[in-house]
Amino acid sequence: MKRLVLSLLTVAGLGFAASAQTNNIKIGVKAGVTFPTFGVSGTENKGYEQKISTSFYVGGTVDIAVSDIFSVQPGLSLIGKGGKTDFSYFNAEIGNSYTVTANSKISTMYIELPVNAVFNFDLGSGKIFIGAGPYYAVAISGKNKSTASLSGGGSTMTESVNEDIKFGKDGTMKRGDFGVNFLAGYQLSNGFNIHAGYGLGLSNLDYADKNASKVTNRVLSVGVGFAF
């Protein structure tokens, strides 16, 4: 974890050094909407359906021009992740048939540090930009809202949970998250831009059931920004 953070800071530092003589550094701000979900793989996720949730992000960037078309862009963001999960199971055993249904919404908030390599191409009165790079994020809060129902024998029992998520070894989710970012957008000559991004989480977030499944963050985002 520490090595990854140091690597990100090293890449950003090299970009600063390369552009120090030209002073070609721009500060940017950005905000928008996220559409997070979970990527789940493993042998014990039958009956589960992952759905998209909604949240937001806000942050800043430092665009360090290395050449006319290439820049290194570290940043820092407050970003909402998480997702929705539906579960259903039907037991058809004669004399003991029942149905279990459940749905949950997990909302997490992270402080995220990305370092992207960005390519810029002139188009019209502005430029298009595309980029990618690693990120590391730390969860600062989380909420789990779940409802489960058991139906059988002419009756139904329902239970609801609304609780804070516990992170770390004593909880159910890991606090740290790392992965790869992809981004694209269009920036006008006055600095205003529209952009979209996708965060592909690579670390397993699941502490409670490590051997059964792998749970990762998946975050689509769209927003606007301004470069000074």
pLDDT one-digit tens code per residue, 38-82: 998 875 656 788 999 999 999 999 999 999 999 999 999 999 999
* pTM for the structure as a whole: 0.84
Residues 83, 107: contact at Cβ < 8 Å?
no
- Total tally of structural domains belonging to the chain: 1
Answer whether residue 20 is part of any domain. Answer: yes
pLDDT one-digit tens code per residue, 84-140: 999 888 877 656 678 889 999 999 999 999 999 999 999 999 999 999 999 999 999
Q: How far apart are CA 226 and CA 194, in angstroms?
A: 9
Answer whether residue 93 is part of any domain. Answer: no
Among 18-27, 34-43, 190-199, the minimum mean pLDDT is found in: 18-27
Q: How far apart are CA 37 and CA 82, in angstroms?
A: 6
Q: How far apart are CA 161 and CA 166, in angstroms?
A: 14
Confidence category of residue 3, pLDDT binned at 50, 70, 90: low
Which two tokens mark 28?
């940017």
Answer whether residue 98 is part of any domain. Answer: no
Answer whether residue 90 is part of any domain. Answer: no
Answer whether residue 201 is part of any domain. Answer: yes
Q: What one-letter code names the amino acid at 142?
A: G
What pLDDT was estimated at residue 209? Answer: 60
| Domain assignment of residue 14, given as a range | 2-82+107-139+173-227
Share of the chain above pLDDT 90, in %: 69
What's the CATH number where 120 sits?
Answer: 2.40.160.20
- The CA dihedral of 130, 132, 135, 139, to the nearest 10 degrees, is 50
Answer whether residue 148 is part of any domain. Answer: no
Answer whether residue 121 is part of any domain. Answer: yes
